[in-house]
Amino acid sequence: MAHRAGARARPLRPFASLPDTTITSPTPVVIQCAVTGSADPDAARRPDLPVSPAAIVDEAMAAWKAGAAVVHLHAREEDGTPTQDRTAYAALVDALR
């Protein structure tokens, strides 16, 4: 599209065609938060990744207080290594209840 001399620039409205998505929308919304993800716990690349059980619980509670209805958890060993250990998951769930 050619620019006309003297034409005023219009502000961009990239989401103008999207429906209103305010909280008062009648459409139900479920917010899910993946607190740890399944990412490698490399502290240099992800310094804010919660790896200890206490940090994971703190972040999950913060997500809930911010409006998350579902918290997706990956249990980790104390050093941050992902684990499938049943007791590690039980400790997280018990702390969140």
The pLDDT score that the predictor gives to residue 51 is 85
Average pLDDT, the chain: 78
The pLDDT score that the predictor gives to residue 25 is 61
Mean pLDDT, residues 34-52 taken together: 81
Query: Would the pTM of this model clear 0.85, i.e. be above it?
Result: no
pLDDT tens track for 46-68 = 888 888 889 999 999 999 998 89
13 has pLDDT over 80: no
The string of DSSP codes covering the chain is -PPPTTPPPPPP-TTTTSPP--TT-SS----EEESSTT----TTT-TT---SHHHHHHHHHHHHHTT-SEEE---B-TTS-B---HHHHHHHHHHH-
